[in-house]
Amino acid sequence: MAREDLENLLIKGGEDKHFRARYDEPATMEEFVEMAAGDGYAFSVDELAAILKESGDVFEKNGNPPKRSIWWT
């Protein structure tokens, strides 16, 4: 369930630029997970880190304005 929730969030972020922009705001994984929980997604910081590592994505922001490159299309 947690993996499915996280994958659904990453896909939605890849499809919806407004959703993605909201999730580019949190500074930490903890804040990101807390925001996701508020939107009905259930996964932990450890699960987020594991799936991002597995997919080769990095949580840190880059660019100007700063954005994450974790979104799936």
- pLDDT averaged over the chain? 96
pLDDT tens for residues 25-57? 999 999 999 999 999 999 999 999 999 999 999
Q: What is the pLDDT of residue 37?
A: 98
Domain boundaries, the chain: 2-55
pLDDT band of 1, cuts 50, 70, 90: confident
**CB within 8 Å of 14: residues ≥ 6 apart:** 20, 71, 72, 73
67: β partners: 62
The pTM score is: 0.94
Q: What is the pLDDT of residue 73?
A: 87
Nearest partner of 46 among 35, 32, 60, 56, judged by Cα: 32
